[in-house]
């Protein structure tokens, strides 16, 4: 096996080190986060760090890089408290990746891509109309990761929109039905395929598939 000690990691070229650490932890979620300035200019940016933080109350988080330069997503979120999280499909990933380009604050990534702004239920931040899963969130808190200056942003889930056909009867979302992508590192894109869904694990019991729906016992 290839081996890297902490010492050897510190002496790798920065891009090689970043690629290694970003990819070895596995596949990450691929989402577009949309915000809007108080003046109405929208912003759209791809993130690979959106995570589930809890379901009661419904919370999610994402990680922002250090605020050593202007972060439009952060500025807009703090000014309006609203943001949306939008899943990326196989048809969307190339355009979604383009939102990582550094555009001026007064230039919306929506206008630089084929994505369409969508507003629903009086929520101030735009959704991405093409996305099969759209989540409207409101800012709750933020936590500085002191070791590297990154910021964990926490949002309360206020609205969820899911296209028909993705949800099982128990509301379990089968993402591969919509060809929802994942990210490897920061620039690799993969299309996961569901292998199985297993029942709750109990000691000394054989694992049962519940892919066709939860089963008793």
Please report, rounded to a whole number, the percentage of residues in the chain having pLDDT higher than 90. 88
- pLDDT attached to residue 105: 87
| Model confidence at 216: pLDDT above 90 | no
Q: Which domains does the chain have, with CATH numbers?
A: 13-190 (2.30.110.10)
Cis peptide before 168 (omega within 30 of 0): no
pLDDT tens for each residue of 169-213: 999 999 999 999 999 999 999 999 999 999 889 998 888 899 876
**pLDDT tens string 94-151:** 999 999 999 988 899 999 999 999 999 999 999 999 999 999 999 999 999 999 999 9
Query: Which strand (E) or helix (H) includes residue 153?
Result: strand 150-162
E strands of 8-149, at which residues?
28-29, 31-36, 42-47, 51-55, 58-64, 82-87, 117-118, 127-128, 133-145
């Amino acid at each position: 096996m290839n081996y890297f000690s902490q010492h050897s990691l510190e002496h790798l070229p920065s891009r090689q080190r970043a690629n290694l650490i970003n990819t070895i932890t596995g596949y990450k979620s691929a989402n577009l986060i949309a915000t809007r300035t108080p003046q109405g200019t929208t912003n759209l940016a791809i993130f690979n760090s959106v995570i589930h933080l809890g379901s009661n109350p419904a919370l999610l988080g994402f990680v922002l890089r250090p605020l050593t330069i202007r972060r439009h997503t952060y500025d807009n979120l703090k000014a309006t408290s609203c943001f949306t999280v939008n899943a990326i499909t196989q048809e969307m990933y190339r355009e979604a990746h383009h939102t990582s380009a550094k555009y001026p604050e007064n230039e919306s990534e929506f206008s630089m891509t084929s994505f369409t702004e969508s507003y629903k239920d009086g929520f101030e931040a735009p959704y991405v109309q093409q996305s099969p899963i759209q989540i409207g969130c409101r800012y709750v808190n933020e936590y500085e990761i002191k070791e590297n200056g990154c910021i964990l942003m926490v949002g309360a889930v206020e609205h969820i929109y899911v296209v028909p056909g993705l949800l099982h009867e128990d509301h379990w979302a089968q993402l591969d039905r919509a060809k929802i992508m994942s990210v490897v590192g920061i620039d690799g894109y993969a299309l996961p395929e569901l292998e199985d869904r297993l029942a709750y694990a109990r000691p000394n019991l054989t694992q049962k598939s519940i892919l066709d729906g939860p089963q008793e016992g």
